[in-house]
Amino acid sequence: MLRRRIETSLPNGPSPRIRALMIALLVATGSPARANDSAAELSIGGLQFVRTNDVAMESENLRIALDRISVRYQFANVTAKPVTLTVAFPLPDIDLSEAENIALPSDDPINFVDFETKVDGSPAPLTVDQRAMVGSRDVSALLRELKLPLLPIGSREIRVTDLPEATRARLVDDGLLMPAGMSDNGRKQYAPGWVIKTSAVRQQVFPPMRTVLVEHQYRPSVGSSPDTILRSSLRRSGALAQEVARYRKEYCVQDTFLAELDKRAGSNQTNSANLQERRISYVLKTGANWAGPIRSFKLTIDPGGSDRLVSFCPGRLKASSATGNMLEYTASDFKPDADLKILVIGTF
């Protein structure tokens, strides 16, 4: 059965990150950790436009929180004629055969991140195209013929055991259902094995010599873990050294961050402070498609509480005055050359 966090099995076992976290929890608790204690984040970004030299991005105001990502763009047509561009919001592929638990923010099988777009204050719906693929083969028509959902989440979950035998056999023969072990009574089990590809597009006209305000928001896919291998008793484990090094590199974890974490977590083997991880991955590099760099860029990170630690790689972004619990970074003439990976540690 598929849930909001899709849980299936890979023959090669869990990914290195999930496996490392399972090891960490074994060290911390002395008991086996359930694989679905952790959820993997999907990498999502903002709106994407075709590359153009006719439209400049005057400003981008990006706010990232655990419950909502919002982006406010100001575009200027630098030519003397209207320019029409294709605006796209590419949603990440959902591979139903993946072993990791994928954190899906919504039970909506089409708009599974609840995205909304406005242009100059008015709603601007995007046309959504969704397809189910097995390799290079589009199997959407077959699923619709069998009255099965392309993305089986929420009320559209598929209980493979409840399918008619003829339907189940056809799905197996066509490669849409993958073997998933045996049940307690010795019956073969199957899980969906297709990939969902979803894209949302619209045509946007930019009038000549005028600024256009585009606002976009959605619920992010937030990775989560019930502990963190950056606690001192875990990060000093030789078995976790490679994973700790990856964390330090991908999230630019500094010694001052670890020192503060150690104050809160202590040196106990058990996670007595009940610290957890949240992770967000944001695709930022597509903001480099304009006539020149982004003239004014602002990033706001809202961790949701003053007691939460945040680490990420700011690159050329400069820290500015924080407001309340939020962290603020700015840049002028900004050309994104890397995506954002944000780590938040605290109690949730």
List the chain domain ranges: 5-125+206-346
| Whether pLDDT at 5 is above 50 | no
184 compared with 265, residue with greater pLDDT: 265
Report the predicted TM-score, pTM, of the whole model to 2 decimal places: 0.85
Strands (E), 53-192: 55-65, 69-77, 83-90, 94-95, 102-103, 116-119, 122-123, 127-134, 137-138, 177-182, 188-192
**Reported confidence tier of residue 323, pLDDT bands at 50, 70, 90:** confident
Cβ neighbours of 56 (radius 10 Å): 19
Model pLDDT, residue 68: 97
Whole-number CA gyration radius for the chain: 22
* Mean pLDDT for all residues in the chain: 86
- What kind and span of H or E run contains 224? strand 223-225
Separation between Cα atoms, residue 191 and residue 113, nearest integer Å: 23
For residue 301, list its beta bridge partners: 64, 327
Separation between Cα atoms, residue 158 and residue 3, nearest integer Å: 9
Model pLDDT, residue 122: 97
| Whether pLDDT at 30 is above 50 | no
| Whether pLDDT at 8 is above 50 | no
| Whether pLDDT at 160 is above 70 | yes
| Whether pLDDT at 118 is above 90 | yes
Q: What percent of the chain has pLDDT over 90?
A: 65
Give tens-digit pLDDT for 249-280: 999 999 999 999 999 998 889 999 999 999 99
290 compared with 198, residue with greater pLDDT: 198
**Reported confidence tier of residue 146, pLDDT bands at 50, 70, 90:** very high
Separation between Cα atoms, residue 303 and residue 344, nearest integer Å: 7
Q: What percent of the chain has pLDDT over 70?
A: 87
Cβ neighbors of 88 (< 8 A, separation 6 or more) are: 47, 48, 49, 126, 199, 200, 201
| Whether pLDDT at 333 is above 90 | yes
Model pLDDT, residue 313: 97
Whether 194 and 116 have beta carbons less than 8 Å apart is answered as: no
| Whether pLDDT at 288 is above 80 | no
Whether 27 and 234 have beta carbons less than 8 Å apart is answered as: yes
72 compared with 37, residue with greater pLDDT: 72
Whether 322 and 329 have beta carbons less than 8 Å apart is answered as: no
Lookup: tokens for 9: 């099995």
